[in-house]
Amino acid sequence: MRRLRALHSVDVATTDLTLMSFCGHCGMPPALPPAASNSRVCGHCELGLVLQAPADVAPAGDEPFLVIDSTLSVCAVSARAEDLLGTDERHAVNRHVADFLVPADANAPGAENLLVLLVEAASGSGEPQTAVVRPRQEFGVRFRARIGPCGPPRAALLVLAD
Amino acid sequence: MSLVRTLKTSEAAALLNVSPNTLRAWERRFGYPKPQRSAGRHRLYTHGEVAALRDALQQGLSISSAVSRAREALSTDTHTLVGALNGFELLRADGAMECALALRSVERSVEEVLLPSLDEIGARFGLDSAPWAFAARWADSWLRRAQRLAPPPSRPLAILIGDATRNDLDPDALAMRAFELFCGRAGARVLALPVGSVAGLGDVVASLSPDAVVIAGNHVCDDDVARWAYRVRAASGHLPIALFRRTHDDPKVRGGAGSRVLPGTPFGAQRQLLALVDDRRGEQTAEIAARPLQIATGPRRKAQS
């Protein structure tokens, strides 16, 4: 965990974070600014809720991502992540994140690393972090994952980058 | 028994702060909220389901998780009913069904709360146990009460049910009772008779003049059922015969090509049976419409010849 934390500077001033809005299913920014619409439902795909995350964590373009709560249960899976992980959001929600992703960093001090980062992000106490993960039951495939807080309500956002 | 509050698509969409299209998209993808249909085939959402989803969406991170949470909130009625029946508390069991009816239609309350609760008790204690007997008797009584409160027959449709279940403690008997209730609520006249009773059956059939016959249950052997079906057919002529919760496939019972195996769920069976009768009526109407033409063309041909 210490090693992973060292990958990013820890002196990020959380108050200066720029928040970005995106749909929890298609990842697109909302059609209307949040103030103009009372609904949290995405106007593009109609199948996701609009969430917010720090700009350096929020998914860019069609990056796949998952939203995980503080009990490490999957709460949302983007359409791209559904394709990538071969799952369906309807079947993935309420399942443990380890059913889908596991740490892939051989040098990481413990397998619980990823889970600790997620719990910290979901509780809002951690800064945006990165970790290396792989799909469960798959070897030789690795993703650099950006992990940070998102919401509302408070949760962890895990964006799978290259 | 309270009437369930329903919402039109536009009202449900307004309550959820989404468009009607979004609501239909959710129905396709998540199967929730699951609307009933009005007589004019318009969607009717139960207020309880929509309200549960609205509350879940406020604290949700995705539509899927909100739907899951809303479903969980609604399933508490099942837990309450199972708890009440396990505790042999009749009033609490009635109360659990009243709560279920506040959120759902009678059909859905039976299919989503009553029957699953009974299944759970049967699986936990066994069908020869005292808790099952208590629960099954209560459920049978509840379904009969609901039947008495159903509106009087409103459509020219009569259904004869051949009861081939073991007794009131047979799980198929409860499903049959629910099927009977749903057909009655759809406006049909329904009469259930044990397939063992053949004496005087012709008089009953002549009085009811059924449009369809359903054989429900799997306990009575095929020969007895075939004998009963033969008597019915002898009294009424050719009628569509449908099987409900019966696995035997004896052609004597099924009565040829017009027979149908109904779905195992009471509401699914009711819908399919009504569609079957409607189709048959449509065919008969078409036949009758064709008859005068034949009569009219008959003398003309003679004159020509």
B22·A41 Cβ contact <8 A:
yes
Which residues in chain B are contacts of A50 at CB distance < 8 A? none
Give the model confidence (pLDDT) of A118-130 as tens digits: 999 998 876 888 8
pLDDT band of residue A35 (cuts 50, 70, 90) is low
Say yes or no: A38 contacts chain B, CB-CB below 8 A: yes
* A109-128: burial string, b at 16+ Cβ within 10 Å, e else: eeeebbbbbbbbbbeeebbb
For residue B160, the surrounding DSSP H or E stretch is strand B158-163
Say yes or no: A23 contacts chain B, CB-CB below 8 A: no
Distance between A75 CA and the closest CA of chain B, angstroms: 6
Using alpha carbons, select from B36, B41, B43, B39 the residue that is nearest to residue B10.
B43
Mean pLDDT along residues A128-156:
89
Which residues in chain A are contacts of B25 at CB distance < 8 A? 46-47
pLDDT at B183: 94
pLDDT band of residue A2 (cuts 50, 70, 90) is very low
Which residues in chain B are contacts of A121 at CB distance < 8 A? none
A67·B61 Cβ contact <8 A:
yes
Is pLDDT above 90 for A105? Answer: no
A39·B17 Cβ contact <8 A:
yes
Q: Alpha-carbon distance B203 to B218, whole Å?
A: 26
Tell me the two tokens of residue B52: 């549960």
pLDDT at B298: 47
Place of tokens 């008959």: B298
Share of chain A above pLDDT 90, in %: 46
Q: Return per-residue pLDDT of chain B as tens, 305 residues.
A: 445 678 899 999 998 989 999 999 999 999 999 888 887 888 888 888 888 898 888 888 999 999 998 888 877 778 889 999 998 999 989 998 988 887 778 998 999 899 999 999 999 899 999 999 999 999 999 999 999 988 888 888 999 999 999 998 999 999 999 999 999 999 999 999 999 888 888 888 888 889 999 999 989 988 889 889 888 888 888 888 899 998 755 555 554 545 789 999 999 999 999 988 888 777 777 766 666 655 545 444 444 43
How are strands ordered across the β-sheet holding A129-135? A74-77, A65-68, A155-161, A143-150, A129-135, A101-103
Domains of chain B: 6-147 (1.10.1660.10), 153-288 (3.40.50.2300)
Q: Alpha-carbon distance B280 to A33, whole Å?
A: 56
For residue B54, the surrounding DSSP H or E stretch is helix B47-58
pLDDT at A59: 93
CB A120 within 8 A of CB A150: no
* B171-199: burial string, b at 16+ Cβ within 10 Å, e else: bbbbbbbbbbbbbbbbebbbebbebeeee
Say yes or no: A34 contacts chain B, CB-CB below 8 A: no
Q: Count of CB contacts below 8 A, A vs B? A: 62
CB atoms under 10 Å from CB of B271, counted, come to: 17
Structure ipTM: 0.80
Distance between A89 CA and the closest CA of chain B, angstroms: 7
Say yes or no: A19 contacts chain B, CB-CB below 8 A: no
Tell me the two tokens of residue A22: 């995106």
pLDDT at A9: 34
pLDDT at B252: 55
Tell me the two tokens of residue B290: 């064709």
Q: Phi then psi for A145, rounded to 5 degrees?
A: -110, 130
Distance between B24 CA and the closest CA of chain A, angstroms: 10
Probe site for chain B from A75, A87, A95, A150 (most B CB atoms < 10 A): A75
Task: Compare CB distances from A76 to B30, B59, B62 and report the shortest one's residue.
Answer: B62
pLDDT at B262: 92
Residue B20: alpha-carbon gap to chain centroid: 28
Task: Compare CB distances from A76 to B26, B59, B61 and report the shortest one's residue.
Answer: B61
pLDDT at A1: 39
Least confident of A16-30, A70-84, A146-160, B160-174: A16-30
B62·A48 Cβ contact <8 A:
yes
Tell me the angle at which helices B115-125 and B63-86 cross, rounded to the nearest 10 degrees. 60
pLDDT at B102: 78
A49·B63 Cβ contact <8 A:
yes
How buried is residue A146: exposed, middle or buried, by Cβ count under 10 Å (0-12/13-18/19+)?
buried
Using alpha carbons, select from B278, B199, B186 the residue that is nearest to residue B240.
B278
Residues 48-67 of B with CB under 8 A from A: 57, 59-67
Distance between A67 CA and the closest CA of chain B, angstroms: 8
Using alpha carbons, select from A135, A144, A22 the residue that is nearest to residue A84.
A135
A75·B65 Cβ contact <8 A:
yes
Using alpha carbons, select from B125, B121, B163 the residue that is nearest to residue B138.
B121
How are strands ordered across the β-sheet holding B241-244? B189-194, B158-163, B212-216, B241-244, B260-261
Identity of residue B38? S
pLDDT band of residue A4 (cuts 50, 70, 90) is very low
CATH entry, A2-161, from 3.40.50.800, 3.40.50.620, 3.30.450.20, 3.30.70.120 = 3.30.450.20
Say yes or no: A24 contacts chain B, CB-CB below 8 A: yes
A93·B65 Cβ contact <8 A:
yes
